[in-house]
Amino acid sequence: MTEQLKQTVLLHRDHHIVVTTQFSYIVSPVMARHIEQELDRRRRPVWVTFVDVSGARVRIRSSVIEGIEQSSLETRDLWRRWRDQRKAEEVPE
């Protein structure tokens, strides 16, 4: 982790991304669990309501939710390192 990143105050260090057919929403881990519980219900609701990290209330059809992705400081760092390693493997033309 770089010194600059250590000094940066992250408002949402760990968050989840709700991926839909039209848009993606950034939500807290607590809100992501709420959405997952709604989607896991025996009778899936037609609408799912939640609040994103900006405080906006969102109400969308459950059928447009394609997935929920976790994003933490550690996983983002691992992805950056993975991409750097793959780039280093590329053979120059």
pLDDT tens-place string over residues 41-74: 999 999 999 999 989 999 999 999 999 999 888 8
Contact 24, 71 (CB under 8 A): no
Mean pLDDT of the chain: 88
Q: Model pTM?
A: 0.72
Q: Give the H or E element holding residue 5.
A: helix 3-7
